[in-house]
Amino acid sequence: MWLLLALLFAIGRLPFSWVVALGRWTGRRLLQLGGKRRAIAWRNLELCFPEKTLEERQQLLKRNFEFLGVALLEPGVAWFSSRKRILRISRVLGLSNLLQAGGELRGVLINSLHMLCAEMALRVIGEHFSFNILYRVHDNPVYEYVSAVGRARARYKSRFIPRKQVRDLLYFLERNEIGLILPDQDFGGRHSRWIPFFGVEAATITSTSDFARLSDAAVVMGTCYLDADNRYVVQVSEPLEQFPTDDSEADTARVSALTEAFIRQHPDQYLWQHRRFKRRPRGQKSLYDAAASRKG
């Protein structure tokens, strides 16, 4: 792991256009290797884009793995680059929406999603404002030490809160700070509801609605992508109106629809390698058994 981190540091010193080119090359090699993650991504594309032809899905899968390769190298840039460099290769749209959302001395909860460039997005927004984020503690203690505990993410001007410590996040939201969550995966648990995602029922946690209600925070959508000029674009939406309501399931369906709409704008940059439809309603068969073993 130390050798891997040293390699990321070295790659992060390269011109950014080289990092992108090397990342896309890496992604194509990963696609050729196949394996479980390729099968999962292909199955997700089958489920979510049935209107596309086989060739269109194959091209989408290829581009997706190219961006995955870039994402694997991004920590070398995000963790070890100067503020000047980060600002040069990024831009933030809708930053004033955060001020609008917190204008009444309220906390602001950013509902983000698992785009492949999420790590870089955190670094970019950390150059503009401080935030508190719920995150999954990494299984490897060396990676965890260097990234979250050590110096790497210290540049983000933020608190990284283990995702089970929800009360800590609510504490800071109640004190009019900014919180950030990424609830668009199958996390299981009793707080999940069956919500349509690309027309397929998906176990979806109600965190965005619940946290906003408990902390009286405003909610905005936060998204990111790498544009054609190799610049990271982070977008912050206007505050969601009449949110939350007393119906957390309806709120969650609304957020899921907004998430889907953004993914459709950049479908090649979403984390399709996650089994989004892992759990099924009682009596339904897995969507990732025999079908997931097919090659795209």
Would you call 14 exposed, middle or buried from its count of C-beta atoms within 10 A (0-12, 13-18, 19+)? Answer: middle
Q: How many CB atoms lie within 10 A of CB 141?
A: 11
Within 167-213, strands assigned E span 178-181, 192-197, 200-205
Residue with tokens 């950390």: 126
- pTM, 2 dp: 0.90
DSSP state of 270: B
Would you call 167 exposed, middle or buried from its count of C-beta atoms within 10 A (0-12, 13-18, 19+)? Answer: exposed
Separate counts of helices (H) and strands (E) for the chain: 11, 9
Average pLDDT of span 175-201: 92
Cα(27)–Cα(70) distance, integer angstroms: 7
Give residue 145's pLDDT band: very low, low, confident or very high (50, 70, 90). Answer: low
Please give the pLDDT value at position 154.
66
Q: Which carries the bigger pLDDT value, residue 49 or residue 136?
A: 49
Note the pLDDT tens digit of each residue in 241-257: 999 999 999 999 999 99
Please give the pLDDT value at position 292.
46
Q: Which carries the bigger pLDDT value, residue 277 or residue 152?
A: 277
Please give the pLDDT value at position 289.
78
Give residue 158's pLDDT band: very low, low, confident or very high (50, 70, 90). Answer: confident
Please give the pLDDT value at position 136.
81
Please give the pLDDT value at position 115.
97
Query: 272 is written with which tokens?
Result: 């399709």
- pLDDT more than 70, % of the chain: 93
Please give the pLDDT value at position 103.
77
Note the pLDDT tens digit of each residue in 264-282: 999 999 999 999 999 998 8
Cα–Cα nearest to 71, from 120, 29, 7: 120
Cα(292)–Cα(40) distance, integer angstroms: 6
| pLDDT above 50 (res 99) | yes
Residues sharing a CB contact under 8 Å with residue 96, sequence separation 6 or more, in sequence order: none
Please give the pLDDT value at position 293.
44
| pLDDT above 90 (res 69) | yes
